[in-house]
Structure 1
Amino acid sequence: MSVVDTPKTVTETPRLKVGFVSLGCPKNLVDSEVMMGLLDRAGAQMTTSPEAADVLVVNTCSFIDTAKQESVDTILEMAQHKSSGRAQKLIVAGCLVERYRDEIRKNIPEVDAVVGTGELEKILEAAGLNAPVAPALQPASPFNILTGVTARAEGDHRESQGRFARKEWDGANAALPQYLYDHTTPRLLATRGPSAYIKIAEGCDHPCSFCVIPNLRGKFRSRHFESVVAEAERLVAQGIQEITLIGQDTTCYGEDLGLKDGLAMLLDKLANIDGLRWLRFLYAYPNKITGRLLETIARHGNICKYLDVPLQHASGPVLKSMKRGANADIFLKTIEKVRAAVPGIALRTSFIVGFPGETEADFETLSNFVREAKFDWLGVFGYSDEEGSGAFSLGEKLPAKAIEQRKRALMRLQKGLSKKAKQQWVGRTMHVLVEGESAETPLLWEGRSQLHAPEIDGTVYINDFGPLESIVPGRFYECEITEAHDYDVVARVISEA
């Protein structure tokens, strides 16, 4: 008699589905990618549908009032899925947690857990998952040139002055965030196409009186040089062709590790990775733009000729009150140096209008500076009075109406300058990364050149495929600019690049 084994029925435990909403800056997006990577490694499954999620995570921003309001609105929106959908847990992460940890739990009872900017690994416990055993760190490579330095003198000095104080914030941990991921940390990319961010540093030591980011994210700290290189090499091997390096002040990169011109060194190393077509970094502190950094940008064809320098203002008295220093004349000399070293470079900046004590004369100084500097891209923020910032205690607060009027006036000025500058693009050819069909009409496709940073600058609209029958999102094409508008341009495809 023969024996036949009866097949056993295997019941697979359904994977926990987690939905993410990431708000705010690219630095926050990388934090979300790290948390998603940790969850994925622990067995969870990511979903883009809130209705299908067992656990919902909102990674919040708390930079200014509008960002805080957007974060709260999103939390409340996601909370509805606990009563009307399948969601069992709602987790709030990010900067809002660092500032309002207790208040969130008290005022929004639907929130089951909070995860601060320095607690990313706690996302597993919050979601009800066990953390897998972490792999051992890879040994340092022969390229490790680091010293034993672990902090910037400026950061220690600012801490002694109370720069990072959080004791008056509701429920804030006494200890500052210390977390910083490395190349062994799992990440699930949320960016589309061949583009990705790499966070090379976290925190900030600068004393800017309008800003609470140092209180939210801690002292400046750099990732190890070889760790960034290893991550970049892995991303390119996976098909990434554009990398944007991010940090609150990337131009300070490596100072806490004993490196001089660390960012220039890092760019030089990364630019030699085969297959990396575009490499850029955000953001540059004006007095940290060294000759070596500019020479490095100019020397490598795959380093984008693009520099984002948030100047914040141009009036000497306002900048002094902001604890930034410098003035319009100093900035103009810096801009002249940058353009001379890197011909054709695109310059982006941002300004705050309506800072306490800003006079009509100060605003006129700023407006005249914008006319003379002729930035390629410019953003304007109305002053937001943030509790915990140095400026919060300043007098001479401007009415909201006056702040809005100045914001609109400066953007009108930039609109005219931008339109005139973009008209000079007509007839130029440039490589364009195609991102897909336009949301406005299927008759147009959208893309950007190396002079456009992801998400924040204008758009290259493509209305003519030239000799090609079709084009593919995520690929690069040689295009000719045929029309110019206020901030955007129209192009036709010449060939695949």
Structure 2
Amino acid sequence: MLDRDAAKQKTRIGFVSLGCPKNLVDSEVMMGLLHHAGAELTPHAEQADVIVVNTCSFIDSAKQESVNAILEMAQHKTAGRAQKLIVAGCLVERYRDEIRKNIPEVDAVIGTGELEAVLAAAGMAPVKQEPSPFNIINATPSLESELIDRAPSAVKKHSRPEGDLREEQGRFSRDAWDGASPSLPEYLYSDETPRILTTPKASAYIKIAEGCDHPCTFCIIPQLRGKFRSRRMSSIITEAESLVKQGVREITLIGQDTTCYGEDLGLKDGLAQLLDALAQINVPGIGGIKWLRFLYAYPNKVTPLLLETIAKYDNISKYLDVPLQHASPTALKRMKRGGSGDIFLKMIERARATVPGIVLRTSFIVGFPGETDAEFEDLMDFIQKAQIDWLGVFSYSDEEGAKAFDLEEKVPSRTIESRRRKLMRLQQKLSTKAKKAWVGREVEVLVEGPNEETPLLWDARTMLHAPEIDGKVLINDFGPHETLVPGTFYRAEITESHDYDVVARIIE
């Protein structure tokens, strides 16, 4: 009876996580820390005593979504059960004082490098215990499983010569941001850090690095996240092995620039070395990672060894995500990215020659200050030649603190939108033609569950689809099965194609 009463008195904590997968991992770490300290996590905000909103501040629309989420959750404090509202993440780094001043319902703010502060903010103390086997909890189907882990490890400082130089040049300056901490975030989670998975049971992200040293003029992520720093390879491998033991079969490595991995630790081609080690994981009685991929490569960091490593192992996805941002050399120069369409085409040619069948994902910015009609046509011409498999387009957004904010010759919003639509129409035609070639193929798919729009279709992905960002495989025929099991791999045949998605039937 006493145990039951004590359980009833546990602090219930609800989470709202916005933004990219890197932010999601931060939320999972904070959830793990809180659960480890004795909190009970709930997916229902109206049942929470404490609500945490982990925010994004990448572009205007993301900032607005974050503010809307904070205001919505504040209602649970003013007119509901919640006693505390905590705001975390990138929006805090940028608008720390403004959040406190303008939203009085907020009780605490936590920056990107202050994840462990969520315990004090929620009124909980960290739990100290003897080292024990690492265990990552999967949040589904129950958040109330026991978490066994060691205390978070101390932060270790890393740096790259490029990052040190950029710091001297003022790349990371936040002096104009009211309330911003003068010290940059330095936090890195490790394999010893409690973490609760919120992704589907067969899939997980591993953040292998944090921060960024690149000088891109459109981006404030270095100021929000700090200098580039890599996790120790042994820590990443240990975490991956632990995930495999928990039933995870698909692992996606993430970082602001995964291709810089290990440079601050003195490694050359560190990402290739890491992939080589992870691809060979073999947990006795279980096996290894079935699907392994990485996201966010920098174009001039796609080395021959990296491509050879992708080609070497069947369980490494033949998938390369390289955000190119533009193809005009003059536009790229203003962006402080470097390169050109011709250089990128040669990189793509090398990738396709080394890794037959490789799928390419990229993203572009249209309407960057000074973008001329000729520069936009260069971009259109490049897309036609490159035949990119998955392509995203961002409309340029002015961000205070980014160097591009001070550039003149701003492109009118109507022109930006027109160019975005024109580019996507071109990509739609290219994608529709490419997807037709999928018809008749037999592929392995990971089934995710019923489609949100209709119960007649189930969602699935192949190894060449990254979670949540690429198209889908829509299952309309279960073949020999009465139903399908989410998180399970099946063989399927592609039967029809659409602009970005394909339809398939299960064959075994």
Compute the TM-score of the two structures, normalised by the length of structure 1: 0.95
Q: Which residue of 1 aligns with 2:378?
A: 365
d(CA) in 1 for partners of 2:130, 2:241: 19
DSSP 3-state at the match of 1:168: coil
Which residue is equivalent to 1:186?
194
* Aligned equivalent of 1:219: 227
Q: C-alpha separation between the residues in 2 aligned to 1:395 and 1:10?
A: 65
Residue equivalent to 1:325: 338
The residue aligned with 2:473 is 460
Structure 2 CA distance for aligned equivalents of residues 74 and 135 of structure 1: 38
1:384 correspondence with 2:384: no
> Given the alignment of the two structures, is residue 268 of structure 1 paired with residue 281 of structure 2, yes or no?
no
Closer, same or farther: CA 134–414 of 1 in aligned 2, 3 Å: farther
Deviations 1:69-127 (A, max 9, x none): 00001100111111222011100000000000000000000101000000000000000
- In structure 1, how many angstroms separate the alpha carbons of the residues matched to 2:496 and 2:475? 10
Listed one character per residue, the Cα deviations across residues 131-168 of structure 1 (whole Å, up to 9, x for unaligned) are 11266699xxxxxxxxx993210000000000000010
Cross-structure match for 2:10:
15
Q: State the secondary structure of the residue aligned to 2:484.
A: coil
Does the alignment pair 1:79 with 2:92?
no
For structure 2, the residue ranges without an aligned partner over 5 or more in a row are 134-155, 282-286
CA distance in structure 2 between the partners assigned to 1:243 and 1:9 by the alignment:
37
Equivalent pair of 1:352/1:383 in contact (CA under 8 Å): yes
- Alignment-derived partner of residue 95 in structure 2: 100
- 2:163 is matched with 155
Mapped partners of 2:325, 2:373: distance in 1 = 16
Paired AA for residue 446 in structure 1: D
| Equivalent pair of 2:279/2:288 in contact (CA under 8 Å) | no
**How far, CA to CA, are the matches of 1:76 and 1:352 in structure 2?**
30
Deviation at 1:319, TM superposition (A): 0.0
What is the CA deviation profile of residues 300-351 of structure 1, one whole-angstrom value per residue up to 9, with x for unaligned ones?
Answer: 0000111100000000000000000010100000000001111111100000
Deviations 1:162-182 (A, max 9, x none): 000001001000000000000
Stretches of structure 1 lacking an aligned partner (at least 5 in a row):
1-6, 139-147
Q: Structure 1 residues 46 and 212 mapped into 2: Cα distance closer, same or farther (>3 Å)? A: same
SS for the counterpart of 1:441 is: coil
Tell me the residue number matched to 1:43. Answer: 38
In the TM superposition, what are the counterparts of 1:189-268 in structure 2 within 5 Å? 189-268=197-276
Relative distance call for 1:176 and 1:486 in structure 2 (3 A) is same
From 119, 124, 127, the equivalent of 1:124 is 119
**Counterpart residue type for residue 248 of structure 1:** Q
Shift of 1:204: 0.2
Indicate the residue corresponding to 1:57 in structure 2.
Answer: 52
Whose Rg is larger? 1
Residue identity in the other structure for 1:471: L
Q: Which residue of 2 aligns with 1:293?
A: 306
Q: Report how far residue 402 of structure 1 moved.
A: 1.0
Q: Give the Å deviation of 1:185.
A: 0.1
Aligned partner letter, 2:162: E
2:254–2:295 contact (8 Å) kept in structure 1: yes
Counterpart of 2:148? none
2:25 corresponds to which residue?
30
Does the CA contact (< 8 Å) of 1:149 and 1:258 recur in 2? no
Q: Judging changes above 3 Å, is the alpha-carbon distance between structure 1 residues 112 and 410 closer, same or farther for their aligned structure 2 residues?
A: same
Give the conservation status (yes or no) of the 8 Å contact 1:57–1:90: yes
Tell me the residue number matched to 2:85: 90
Contact 2:46 2:81 in 1 (8 A): yes
Other-structure match for 1:4? none
Distance 1:163 1:8, change over 3 A: closer
Q: 1:208, 1:192 → 2: CA distance?
A: 34
Q: 2:175 is matched with which residue: 151, 167, 170?
A: 167
1:346 and 2:359 are equivalent in the alignment: yes
The answer as to whether partners of 1:149 and 1:257 remain within 8 angstroms in 2 is no
The DSSP-based 3-state class of the residue aligned with 2:177 is: coil
Aligned counterparts of 2:381 and 2:295: Cα–Cα separation in 1: 26
Aligned to 1:40, what secondary structure does the other structure show? Answer: helix
Q: Answer yes or no: is the 8 Å Cα contact 2:201–2:247 preserved in 1.
A: no
% of aligned pairs identical?
Answer: 69
| 1: CA distance, partners of 2:2 / 2:401 | 62
Q: Secondary structure at the match of 1:158?
A: helix
Aligned to 2:142: none
Query: Match of 2:82, SS?
Result: coil
SS in 2 for 1:102: helix
| Range with bigger deviation, 348-357 or 266-275 | 266-275
- DSSP-derived class of the 1:434 partner: strand
Q: Which residue of 2 aligns with 1:145?
A: none
Structure 1 residue runs of 4 or more that deviate by more than 3 Å after TM superposition: 7-11, 134-138
Query: What is the TM-score of this pair, normalised by structure 2?
Result: 0.93
One-letter amino acid of the counterpart of residue 185, structure 2: P
Q: How far is the alpha carbon of 1:440 from its aligned partner?
A: 1.2
3-state SS of 2:196 partner: coil
CA distance in 2, matches of 1:134, 1:341: 49
Aligned residues: 480
Per the TM alignment, residue 468 of structure 1 is displaced from its structure 2 partner at its CA by 2.2
* Distance in 2 (alpha carbons) for counterparts of 1:9 and 1:119: 33
